[in-house]
Amino acid sequence: MAHFRYIGEENADTRFHDGALRPIIGAQNIQVMRANREHPEQSQGLSFTYNHAPMLCRWQKKLYLMYLTSPVHEHDGLSHVMLTESGSGFSWAPPRLLFPEIPVPQGVYRGKGADSLPPDAKTVAHQRMGFYLSSGGVLLAMTFHGVSPNIHIAPNSGWGMGRVARRIFEDGSLGEIFVLRVNEKAGWKKEHFPYRFFEESEDRDFVAACQELLADGLATGAWWEEERLDEAFFPLKNIKAPSFCPLPDGRVGVIGKMGLTAVSQDHGGTWSEPERMDGLFTATGKCAMLKTGDGRYAIVYNPSPDGQHRWPLAAIVSEDGYTYSHLACVCGEVPPMRYGGYLKDFGPQYVRGIMPGNDDSPDGYTWLAYSMNKEDIWVLRLPPRLEWREDRPVREMFSQMSGPFPERWHIYSPQWSRVGIEDGALTLRQSDAWDYAKAIRVFQEGETACLRLLLSVQGLENGEMHIEVSDGKGMNAVRLLLRRDGHAALRGGGGQWPIAAYQNGDLLDIVIKIDCRKKRVSASVNGKNSGDYMPISPCRTVERLTLRTGESRTRPTLETELKNIRLPDVPGGGERGKEAVYRLYQVEISSTEFPQDQIACDSKPASFHQ
């Protein structure tokens, strides 16, 4: 019998980017780095458009994130490792170079494609574990220098050069790069590196931290792929991209690609035979096993057997760390791939949490990092308790809230289409032609619902707001559009009907009504009514309000071909458009209609922006 199993009834319908799953309440997705070939100064200072495999840690109340970057393709030459940091997790410093590529000495590499290795070849960075916080409070960053004669030969084949490390100091400055471990079984030696060996460092705290790391079987357990020829060094074998998690019975669990799992009773000294997790569908994307802020457990992963179309990013939860249920969505977005490249897969993928021991200032939230389309880098903040149903009434005035986001809203916030609380309003900004801002509020499920929103628009000609009410699978009952032509319109079954005109700066009092039993939807804007119409889809209940600054996406699909294909770049992928700004001041959701005086819509909110 497998140690780990999924017993939930939910499975992802991957025809839809969100898997037709319920969203996790309070999951907040924040874009850290948006690739930009046209204007690299607006991105990471490089025109590189392959960005992937982020790693995350928290030290001294600051989040550190590293990721791989290459000019165009995966396993490309000129492969760098970049580093960025944030005090809040919501705004990030410009990325900087952490590890450059190094020359590959000729005549040593014996792996696949050795005869075709270019004479001027450079290493290709690769890592499954990027940070280590020692018991003495020293933070190490590391990477592995792999060798890829061409983009179809992976740098983690076991034949790469070895691993290097450097220290990150409290002020964020970086120490010298040293060789941490040479891949001697593949024929490499210390003298093949342009760096000194770590034991030669004058920083004795750094040396002690490296020695502690090398003796830590859990930390080094993630190195097996790159150094697999040294079988004696690795008790855990054949699990790629392992994610470790201490379990309540004192054992340690691990999950890797393809849903392979194992357990250790001696802190990584020995492991059970790897086996696939029962009931779990996943492929070659990473999985993250972690403990949540409320003491439960979660696995975050792509619940799809298709390794090229990696969506959605979802979570399952467990009370005991072994038996999981309740599959729900943490990111259901797949924007267009702006820059084509070989071996770039679609979707939010390669998720990594903070490795046990690498967080010295926990705040109850669960932080993870992932890449989108192997192009942009994102972080995800999950609330202490993962929930997907609301059992409380919704009546919110954002002027009474603090923090960057409202706690119970599911947020998708790209750099050029930010979401956040600004000056007493939940604000959605839109200036990205290839992505949108999105905010979801789950409410109590019911056959009827009445929603009332107070909002305003600036730059209406630059965007379009979609306000939708849907069921638990995301099927829409009704949509209200704030169009760029200055008209609010209702989209119900059979068509779209204008309701009222509006201008920049107008305060819009919007009421939306849904009756699934009578199969009727309606809306009013500043007292002007649409009349009753059939719903868009046959919803039996509704439970979700969505605000989105653009049309919903249906592409890419599972049929969008990727294998051995470089998709064309989109036009103007690095050009920022003019901005539209939508400010939501108040929202109330009920199963019955509101008395006219329940929300003081006849007076402007104190935070109202004219």
Peptide bond into 54 cis (omega under 30): no
The residue type of 78 is L
Percent of the chain surpassing pLDDT 70:
97
> What is 165-213 written as a DSSP string?
EEEE-TTS-B---EEEEE-GGGT--GGGSSSEEGGG-S-HHHHHHHHHH
Region 99-110: mean pLDDT is 97
Specify whether the CB–CB gap between 450 and 593 falls below 8 A.
yes
CA dihedral 428, 429, 433, 434 (to 10 degrees): -50
Region 318-343: mean pLDDT is 97
Selection from 477, 483, 547, 563 nearest residue 513 by Cα: 477
Higher-confidence residue: 86 or 608? 86
Rounded CA-CA distance 378/392 in Å is 30
Selection from 83, 70, 79, 66 nearest residue 37 by Cα: 70
Q: What pLDDT is recorded for position 390? A: 97
Region 97-118: mean pLDDT is 96
Region 212-224: mean pLDDT is 95
Rounded CA-CA distance 543/239 in Å is 40
Region 83-106: mean pLDDT is 97
Higher-confidence residue: 593 or 273? 273
Q: What pLDDT is recorded for position 603? A: 46
Specify whether the CB–CB gap between 443 and 450 falls below 8 A.
no
Radius of gyration of the chain (CA): 25
Selection from 166, 163, 161, 162 nearest residue 207 by Cα: 166
Calculate the CA 386 to chain-centre distance.
16
Q: Which of 235-249, 523-537, 591-605 has the weakest average pLDDT?
A: 591-605
pTM, whole model, 2 decimals? Answer: 0.96
Q: Chain-wide mean pLDDT for the chain?
A: 95
Rounded CA-CA distance 241/438 in Å is 31
Confidence band, pLDDT 50/70/90 cuts, at residue 594: low
- The answer, yes or no, to whether residue 585 has pLDDT greater than 60, is yes
Residues near 572 by Cβ (< 8 Å), separated by ≥ 6?
A: 38, 433
Region 582-609: mean pLDDT is 69
52-69 in b/e form (b: 16+ CB < 10 A) is: bbbbbbbbbebbbbbbbb
Region 57-61: mean pLDDT is 96
Please report, for the chain, how many H helices and E strands are present, in that order.
2, 38
The residue type of 74 is E
Specify whether the CB–CB gap between 30 and 370 falls below 8 A.
no
CA distances from 118 to 103, 115, 122, 188, 604 (A): 11, 9, 9, 18, 68
Region 135-163: mean pLDDT is 96
491-503: pLDDT as tens digits: 988 889 999 999 9
Q: Are strands 28-33 and 409-413 parallel, antiparallel or unpaired?
A: parallel
- The answer, yes or no, to whether residue 598 has pLDDT greater than 50, is no
Q: What pLDDT is recorded for position 599? A: 43
- Phi, psi (deg, nearest 5) at residue 406: -70, 135
Rounded CA-CA distance 86/61 in Å is 9
Rounded CA-CA distance 376/370 in Å is 9
Q: What pLDDT is recorded for position 351? A: 98
Confidence band, pLDDT 50/70/90 cuts, at residue 514: very high
Confidence band, pLDDT 50/70/90 cuts, at residue 595: low
Residues near 323 by Cβ (< 8 Å), separated by ≥ 6?
A: 4, 5, 7
Higher-confidence residue: 42 or 599? 42
- The answer, yes or no, to whether residue 610 has pLDDT greater than 60, is no
CA distances from 313 to 156, 185, 267, 371, 598 (A): 25, 37, 29, 11, 39
Return the bridge partners of 479, or none: 468, 491
The position carrying tokens 């054992």 is 251
Rounded CA-CA distance 202/460 in Å is 60
Region 389-393: mean pLDDT is 94
Rounded CA-CA distance 590/471 in Å is 15
Q: What pLDDT is recorded for position 289? A: 98
Q: Where are the beta strands (DSSP E) in 40-138?
A: 50-59, 62-70, 80-86, 96-99, 124-126, 131-133
Return the bridge partners of 545, or none: 441, 469
Region 534-543: mean pLDDT is 97
- Phi, psi (deg, nearest 5) at residue 398: -75, -15
1-23: pLDDT as tens digits: 568 999 999 999 999 999 999 99
> What is 387-417 written as a DSSP string?
--S--S-EEEEGGG--SSS-TTEEEEE-TTS
> What is 209-240 written as a DSSP string?
HHHHHHT-HHHHGGGTTTTTT-GGG-SS-S-S
Burial (CB < 10 A; 0-12, 13-18, 19+), residue 79, is buried
**How many other C-beta atoms lie within 10 A of the C-beta of residue 197?**
15
Selection from 347, 358, 366 nearest residue 24 by Cα: 366
131-160 in b/e form (b: 16+ CB < 10 A) is: bbbbeeebbbbbbbbbbbbebebbbbbbbb
Specify whether the CB–CB gap between 548 and 474 falls below 8 A.
no
Selection from 97, 230, 226 nearest residue 162 by Cα: 226
Q: What pLDDT is recorded for position 601? A: 44
Longest dimension (CA), the chain: 82
Region 287-298: mean pLDDT is 97
Q: What pLDDT is recorded for position 490? A: 96
- The answer, yes or no, to whether residue 607 has pLDDT greater than 80, is no
Show the domains of the chain with their CATH numbers: 5-380 (2.120.10), 394-590 (2.60.120.200)
Specify whether the CB–CB gap between 140 and 210 falls below 8 A.
yes
Rounded CA-CA distance 588/515 in Å is 17
Confidence band, pLDDT 50/70/90 cuts, at residue 77: confident
427-471: pLDDT as tens digits: 999 999 999 999 999 999 999 999 999 999 999 999 999 999 999
Q: What pLDDT is recorded for position 564? A: 81
Q: What pLDDT is recorded for position 597? A: 43
Confidence band, pLDDT 50/70/90 cuts, at residue 604: low
- The answer, yes or no, to whether residue 383 has pLDDT greater than 60, is yes
